[in-house]
Structure 1
């Protein structure tokens, strides 16, 4: 998996890193049980502070995407990512709410917003299909 961070972005680096690892899992570039680089190794490889990598890894661990073992290191959760439950759906609604409000303020219609979402779902599914 290739990590591509935008150091000029207003989005914090640890969030960019988290999102790229989650995308790698979604696209099946990272499989359950796959090893990820250690905090120090990844920080050195991409030239960022190890505390930034640690923060991203800790959040990914908390969200159930990865496990961190003292001996085995960092791995994509061997049981896979927990499936969406009601709590997840409520969190997702809370995250979508400001995006939808912003889109409405900018003149984006419900149809356009839905179409953008559909395109992204298709993109992930196509890239997953290319790996199989």
Structure 2
């Protein structure tokens, strides 16, 4: 798997793991129905506690990215990721709020902020061939 964690980061390992798996789905490295390693297997491969992997998997399950079957294991949600709805957009706004606040404090202009966002969207589209 393509998981790269920064053990020196201030961001918790389980959050990094969540972000890496979501990025894999966004970049189409992980397709609906693809199997993910078991909690134990992924923890051993990366060298982290299995409770950390379990916490990440539980959050991904709650957010609709994966399904966890007792017999089949962990898979990327076979029906695809749920589309953004009002609740998701509200959560997104909540997450963006502190980023924009800090950007304003650091004199990042609206154009610079939007340009960074646009650049990131473009990078994802290039990697997936959706340009």
What band does the TM-score fall into relative to the shorter chain?
over 0.9
Number of residue pairs aligned between Structure 1 and Structure 2: 130
| TM-score using structure 2 length | 0.98
Aligned residue number for residue 47 of structure 2: 47
Does residue 36 in structure 1 map to residue 43 in structure 2? Answer: no
Write the distance in 2 (CA, Å) between the matches of 1:95 and 1:4: 23
Where 1:67 maps in the other structure, the secondary structure is strand
Aligned residue number for residue 11 of structure 1: 11
Instruction: Give the drift of 1:110.
Output: 0.3
Write the distance in 2 (CA, Å) between the matches of 1:17 and 1:88: 20
Instruction: Give the drift of 1:83.
Output: 0.2
Where 1:68 maps in the other structure, the secondary structure is strand
Runs (4+) of structure 1 exceeding 4 A deviation are: none
Aligned residue number for residue 93 of structure 2: 93
Instruction: Give the drift of 1:24.
Output: 0.1
| TM-score using structure 1 length | 0.97
Q: What does 1:62-101 correspond to in 2, within 5 Å?
A: 62-101=62-101
Aligned residue number for residue 110 of structure 1: 110
Where 1:25 maps in the other structure, the secondary structure is helix
- Encode CA deviations 1:46-94: one digit per residue, 9 max, x unaligned: 0000000000000000000000000000000000000000111111000
- Encode CA deviations 1:91-125: one digit per residue, 9 max, x unaligned: 10000000000000011000000000000000000
Where 2:6 maps in the other structure, the secondary structure is coil
How large is the Cα RMSD of the aligned pairs? 0.9
Aligned residue number for residue 124 of structure 2: 124
> Structure 1: which 5+ residue stretches go unaligned?
none
